[in-house]
Amino acid sequence: MAKYIFVTGGVISSVGKGISVASIGRILKSRSISVSVQKLDPYLNVDPGTMSPYQHGEVFVTQDGAETDLDLGHYERFIGVDLTQASNVTSGQVYSSVIAQERKGDFLGGTIQVVPHVTNEIKRRIRQVAEISAADVVLVEVGGTVGDIEGQPFLEAIRQMRKDEGRDNVLYIHVTFLPYIAVTDELKTKPTQHSVNELRRIGIQPDIILCRSDKEISEGIKDKISLFCDVNKEAVIPLVTSETIYEVPLLMEEYGLGDFIVNHLGLEAKESNLDNWHELVNRLKAPKEPVTIGLVGKYVELQDAYYSVREALRHAALTHNREVKIEWLNSEELQDGHCDKLRQVQGIIIPGGFGYRGIEGMVEVAKFAREKEIPYFGLCLGMQVMVIEFARHAFHSQDANSTEFDRDTPYPVIDLLPEQRGINQKGGTMRLGTYPCHLVPGTKAAHAYGYEVTYERHRHRFEFNNAFRQPLEKAGLIASGLSPDGKLVEIAELRNHPWMLACQFHPEFRSRLDCPHPLFVDFMGTAKETLTEGAQTSLPIN
């Protein structure tokens, strides 16, 4: 029978609750305890797939094709698990299914209420993760902060879980923030006390408090939190902002969190082994020669929109014992001949995106990369942009385009798949999730992977249009990754270029610190050898 750890947040959002949950998963896994994870998101959208990156950051895609919260990316990267759609539950999903049951007549005669109907549906979905995964421990993060109106049914459901599952099988962890007041040079615990009071009002007494802070936390502060919040002092865990997020599991371990959880839940565990992780973190923190990569997109002011891409670049750089330095470049600002900024970068990456805004700037960037022979890596939209630019060059026509951006283009080199035509509903209707991709021998892609078939995650509506495959191949484009039936171009690369390669899928979702993605590693390998105009003066370190 699974045990449950519920993690709530207090005081403010964005203090790294997701990273904390992912790190707890890692320290349990390092003791040979199997872990699965779930995020409960109180908003009313069914999933974040239809939300703007400005609202929500990146949409993380699971192997079974769910469009989920970016916290699932942290969980997968830290714990090394492949999660499923059951791992992200929103109020939208919960209410939709309760209302569908009501319409079917499942509750005939009854009044449908938040307690018990909505809370039962939430609990059913929590237990479903335990069943599907058969994990020893299910870690459940409740999104938002305690006190949010939408969060109430979720908190009520997790409160009931302690009674349902048995007191020894459930643990509550509260992640709070200690603000620093510069005038008096002190950290304040009052907001933490208030948020714990709010939790208690609902009936949840936290067993552990994780205190996020930008400053060292003194023993006195820990005593105070322990006293006022009624939590053992060894369960008040300071989490001072670290140099890298990958250090968090090590910090938690240092403060004894792993042992505390194991004892509290009576888990059977082996001795913790984080040696490999330790080694990776030490290498991450050591000073290294940088590789400068220009990331060109339209949401660059909000780096969360490209979270997995940034992490995948970091992982790949570490493989080469380098450090990636990302130049975040807004494609709209590079438009109309402003690509000169790219003379300072050793590689260019164009990640995924939707809609026409910013596209012409990206096409110019692709042209610049092709002509100046700068390594270029396109992810999903980045592949479509590369194909559009190459077609404009090959066909001597500025009209080549994707039908996403120009419905009437005479050269629709990127077009909707037949099965996508006529779909008007926006949510959950894209080509989503994992598909196999066969690598064509002798290509850069095949060389990067070193094996014949890869399984990669997709999230798009448009595809390479086969009607143009032959003329584009003749002009120097190589279809280097194909669907098993050979009909879908999943990877394309340019023949006469050091490294201009792009894929229709999102390789970034599969990259891990301890298992970087082959395409990112190969791209970084070429980029690190590329000299920028300022290279001779700015690059070499040791």
- Which residues lie near ligand GLN (CB under 6 A)? 352-354, 380-381, 384, 404, 459-462
The active-site residue, picked from 380, 404, 456, 493, is: 380
Q: Which is nearer to ligand GLN, 70 or 170 (CB)?
A: 70
Q: Are 401 and 409 spatial neighbours (Cβ–Cβ below 8 Å)? A: yes
460 catalytic? Reply is: no
Q: Which is nearer to ligand GLN, 180 or 356 (CB)?
A: 356
Q: Which is nearer to ligand GLN, 40 or 380 (CB)?
A: 380
Q: Which is nearer to ligand GLN, 10 or 53 (CB)?
A: 53
Distance CA 386, CA 369 (A): 10
Distance CA 230, CA 224 (A): 10
Least CB distance to ligand GLN at residue 336 (A): 23
The active-site residue, picked from 156, 364, 456, 508, is: 508
253 catalytic? Reply is: no
Least CB distance to ligand GLN at residue 387 (A): 11
Least CB distance to ligand GLN at residue 439 (A): 21
Distance CA 135, CA 38 (A): 12
**3-state SS class at 412:** strand
Provide the b/e sequence for 9-42 (b: ≥16 CB within 10 Å).
bbbeeebbbbbbbbbbbbbbbbbebebbbbbbbb
Name the CA radius of gyration of the chain, rounded. Answer: 25
Q: Which is nearer to ligand GLN, 328 or 354 (CB)?
A: 354
**H or E element, residue 377:** strand 376-379
Q: Which long-range contacts (CB under 8 A, 24 or more apart) does 475-481 make?
A: 475/390, 475/393, 475/394, 476/390, 476/394, 477/387, 477/390, 477/394, 478/440, 478/443, 479/440, 480/439, 480/440, 480/443, 480/444, 480/445, 480/446, 481/437, 481/438, 481/439, 481/440, 481/443, 481/445, 481/454
Least CB distance to ligand GLN at residue 288 (A): 30
Distance CA 237, CA 248 (A): 11
Least CB distance to ligand GLN at residue 350 (A): 9
CB atoms inside a 10 Å sphere around CB 220: 11
Q: Which is nearer to ligand GLN, 9 or 361 (CB)?
A: 361
Least CB distance to ligand GLN at residue 459 (A): 5
CB atoms inside a 10 Å sphere around CB 264: 17
Cross-strand bridge partners of residue 4: 138, 170
508 catalytic? Reply is: yes
Q: Are 492 and 479 spatial neighbours (Cβ–Cβ below 8 Å)? A: yes
Least CB distance to ligand GLN at residue 65 (A): 13
Catalytic residue numbers? 380, 506, 508
